Chain A
Amino acid sequence: MNWVAWKMLTGDRAKYLGTVFGVAFGVLLISQQTSIFVGLMRRTAHAAIDVRDAQVWVMDPYQQNADEIKPLSETDLNRVRGVEGVEWAVRYFKSLARAKIETGSFRQVFLIGLDDHSLIGAPVKMLDGSLANLRRPDAIIVDKSGYEYLWGKEPIRLGRTLEMNDRRAVLVGICEATAPFQTFPIIYTRYSQAVQFVAGERKVMSFVLAHPQQGVTPKDLSTRIAERTNLMTKTRTEFIWFIVGYYMRSTGIPVNFGITIALGFIVGTAIAGQTFYLFTLENLKQFGALKAMGLSDRRLTLMVLLQATVVGLIGYGLGIGMTALFFEATSNVTALAGFYLPWQVAAGAAVAVGLIIVLASFLSLRKVLLLEPAIVFRG
């Protein structure tokens, strides 16, 4: 009878596609909206995410996020270096700056200054030019989206210049970077250079990046540094969540997006569940006839579950596929760059759809099992 169940499901092509796409659309709503939310939140922590070679961030004890920064002093750096278990500790500069291009138009940018010797925190993936050239005088590297924000769709041309704080900067490379929440270009340069690109403050060291010696965990090191220096420390992962947490608490994004996601979830699951439920309801008469003809409840149940499984799996596959395709298709759209479908979201959508299909088939089954077979004689 499983074959009959399959035929009942797929026999009416239009109804079948309607049901499957109902589920797929539900999955698309859930996974796409959640992915964008996750992507946006990720963007707030772009700086922390892009520093992959240091495990511990050291900052002012009252710091709340990665953008409003109270700088540290040289003494602080030395104190960190003095903590037992520190393999190395380096300066890291992060600030907003204003960049003016050849035509005179300007943009706000994120300026990142890397330790002159080690270049710790440098971009991982260069798209054009080379990281080594960052050691040249006035050298800067701009992220790909940033290049577009600054120079539009012009082809990439290394060697072109821009001005920051009346100082010339020379483009030596294009890199990939996690898009920031604000759509600003990210400009990498050496620490000593960065200091000159912003109007003079006495203290400019935004963070100290530290790395544990072999055998010391980042968490241990973080705790140790905090104890010895009274500075605030975070491991890389902690820092990412710290920033995300800040934006979650202190901006309207989570509320607004939470509503969108909740709506996506409700609408998505309602569509998915309802289309399947309606499908069974429409077939109730057929189930009734089968029941009258002596099909046992157990096998009727198996038929409904088989139909639910097929609809769930194909609908989920299509929906997740559409989400993945959406992010794939928009990966070159600068404003949407860096958004993707995290596997956790895919898994969450799977669980949600699984639950709703179970619920829908439970309700459908109730209908089918409580069905009086005698109704087959009634019009």
Chain B
Amino acid sequence: MIAPFNNAESVGNSATAIADREIAIACRGIVKDFGDGNTKVRALHGIDVDVFSSELTLLVGPSGCGKTTLISIIAGLLNPTAGDLDLFGMKQSQLRGPKLVDFRAQSVGFVFQQYNLLPALNATENVAIPLLIQGWKRPAALKAALSALEAVDLGSRAEQRPNQLSGGQQQRVAIARALVHQPRLLVCDEPTAALDAVSGQRVMELLKKVAVQPGRAVIVVTHDDRVFGYGDRIISMADGRIESVENRENELNSAGKREES
């Protein structure tokens, strides 16, 4: 077990509150360089941060500060140049090649800014993909996908193709797809950036309500200060470094906590 790393934990949090929480992901000294020689760019300069299960973590900061790079590493899409990454008790350095691919298939859900739905598949079929990747039979996968779609209030759009859906609806389909296989980690990169304010709020509410579950860590990268209120915890980055970590005890959170216990 890794001890919680309290970098810049802001006031207003008792030590016990932190100790209660289960660490999903622990980053220690994560460095990421792109390119080499003259063109080398250091995108992350030794990141130390923890992400907890059962809550929604916002990752914020100016453009180019390394948010996408960090979640790509956490989600097993990129390997760090240096540092230790602990994913649900497993060392990332031991998850290489096929094991890493497997980890993504089993344990990670993805939500992208551009939705990345397959245009040729209808909503249900798109949602079924993670299950098909896991080797489910098609009928069972489609059935589970339909329930997942219903959970994001899109049961009535099950047969529609992405181009027949609004941006907000497409993003909700993408959320259903990211959750259908019950991943332990959900990473969302700017999920509201392509949406208008109302659809954006709707997406965030959905993430808060449906995605955050006991045992699941949810990380949302965002620029959008209108959605800051949805975070249980806000990690701010600047220039490839963690600037501050803020734990929020807002109404929503305490309400959520009460329901759980």
> Which A residues fall within an 8 A CB radius of B?
1, 3-4, 7-12, 285-286, 288-290, 292-297, 299, 372-374, 376-379
10 shortest interchain CB distances as A-B pairs? A11-B120, A294-B105, A294-B104, A289-B116, A374-B77, A374-B72, A377-B189, A7-B120, A373-B77, A377-B68
Q: Are A292 and B119 in touch, CB under 8 angstroms?
A: no
Say whether B77 contacts A290, CB under 8 Å.
no
How far apart sit A286 and B114, CA to CA, in the bound complex (Å)? 11
Q: Report the minimum CB–CB distance from A373 to chain B (whole Å).
A: 5
Stretch of B126-134, B223-231, B239-247 lying at the A interface: B126-134
Q: How far is the CA of A364 from the CA of B112 in the complex (A)?
A: 24
Nearest Cβ on chain A to B147's Cβ, whole angstroms: 19
CB nearest neighbor in B for A286: B118
A289 and chain B: residue at smallest CB distance: B116
In the complex, are the beta carbons of B98 and A296 less than 8 A apart? yes
With both beta carbons as reference points, the residue of chain B lying nearest to A378 in the complex is identified as B68
Docked CA distance A1–B141 (Å) = 12
Contact among B101, B120, B125 with A294 in the assembled complex (CB-CB below 8 Å)? B101
Interface residues on B, range: 20 to 34
B residues lining the A interface (CB < 8 Å): 68, 71-72, 75, 77-78, 98, 101-106, 108, 110, 112-114, 116, 118-121, 125, 129-130, 132-133, 138, 189
- B104 → chain A closest CB, angstroms: 4
CB <8 Å contact, A290 and B129 = yes
A291 to chain B, nearest CB (A): 8
In contact, B112 and A376 (Cβ under 8 angstroms): yes
Of A1, A296, A377, A378, most buried by chain B (CB within 10 Å of CB) is A377
Closest residue of B by beta carbon distance from A15: B120
Determine whether the beta carbon of B133 is less than 8 Å from that of A1. Answer: yes
Are B105 and A376 touching (Cβ within 8 A)?
no
Q: Which residues of B contact A373 (CB under 8 A)?
A: 77, 104
Name the one of B113, B129, B133 contacting A379, with C-beta atoms under 8 angstroms.
B113
Contact B121 A4 (CB under 8 A): yes
Contacts of A7 in B (CB 8 A): 118, 120-121, 125
- Bound-state Cα–Cα, A294 to B138, Å: 17
CB distance from B134 to the nearest CB of A (A): 8
Q: Which chain B residue lies CB-closest to A8? A: B120
Are B120 and A377 within 8 A (Cβ)?
A: no
Q: Which residue of A lies closest to B130 (CB)?
A: A293
Closest to A7 in B: B120
List residues of chain B with CB within 8 A of the CB of A286: 116, 118-119
Instruction: Give the Cβ gap from A379 to chain B, nearest Cβ, in Å.
Output: 6
* CB contact under 8 A between A295 and B105, given known A8-B120, A11-B121: yes
Tell whether A285 pairs with B129 under 8 Å between CB atoms, given A292-B77, A294-B101.
no
A294 touches B119 (CB 8 A): no
CA distance A292 to B121 in the complex (A): 18
Q: How far is the CA of A293 from the CA of B71 in the complex (A)?
A: 14
Cα A108 to Cα B49 with chains together (Å): 96
Question: How many Å lie between the Cα of A265 and that of B148 in the bound state?
Answer: 51
- Name 6 interchain pairs, CB-CB below 8 A, sorted by A: A8-B120, A294-B104, A296-B98, A296-B101, A376-B116, A377-B68
B110:A293 contact, CB within 8 angstroms:
yes
Q: In the complex the two chains form, is A293's CB within 8 Å of B105's CB?
A: yes
Given contacts A3-B138, A379-B113, contact A293 B125 (CB under 8 A): no
Inter-subunit contact B104/A8 (CB<8 Å)? no
When distances are taken between beta carbons in the complex, the residues of chain B under 8 Å from A377 are 68, 71-72, 77, 112-113, 189
* A10-B120, A374-B77 known; A379+B114 contact, CB < 8 A: yes
What separation, in Å, do the CA atoms of A305 and B55 have in the docked complex?
42
Chain B residue, CB-CB nearest to A288: B116
Residues of A within 8 A of B101 (CB): 294-297
